[in-house]
Chain A
Amino acid sequence: NAGVTQTPKFQVLKTGQSMTLQCAQDMNHEYMSWYRQDPGMGLRLIHYSVGAGITDQGEVPNGYNVSRSTTEDFPLRLLSAAPSQTSVYFCASSDNRGSGNTIYFGEGSWLTVV
């Protein structure tokens, strides 16, 4: 069972470059989201989507774009990378069965911006 798959796992970018972190899930989940993890700060929500064609901002959306053209995929785009975007990024998905849903996470993408 693949679950939530993220690529790439590691990436080094130069300041100003753009890139896309890929996320795919095979559980037919409507809800998908992106978090970033920074030392001592837990995980913070960047963007989320409640279904194909619908996206919204989370707590820390600046510098990132998302789109949701299919149920399976939810890519995260860094428009012009900055050192402050050095972080570990996690994609997550969940079904819509009501409260207390289990949210499934990918294995993470380690991004360094130099």
Chain B
Amino acid sequence: GAGVSQSPRYKVAKRGQDVALRCDPISGHVSLFWYQQALGQGPEFLTYFQNEAQLDKSGLPSDRFFAERPEGSVSTLKIQRTQQEDSAVYLCASSLSVGDRGRRDGYTFGSGTRLTVV
């Protein structure tokens, strides 16, 4: 597709439920990022993939958060045993290359998944 696609657009989960959020990056994009954006805050980095390799997961807040990108394209962010503090917008971004030196544009973001834990 022309852009980064995320699904579902909205998700309401009961506390303790597991959820899976999907990201379809732009075809051919090597780099993929997940961010968490709490209400009224800027996006905070969660994890980074280069193709299928998860090179940085330093931003994942707990071991309840898990991300994968098994074939180097679609990625899934899974949250186990959701808690109210997990309520946020989860943004996915992709980039054609590892480095962005010389490229006109920055990372391309999806519209996000708004997760509400009740």
Q: Do A and B bind each other?
A: no
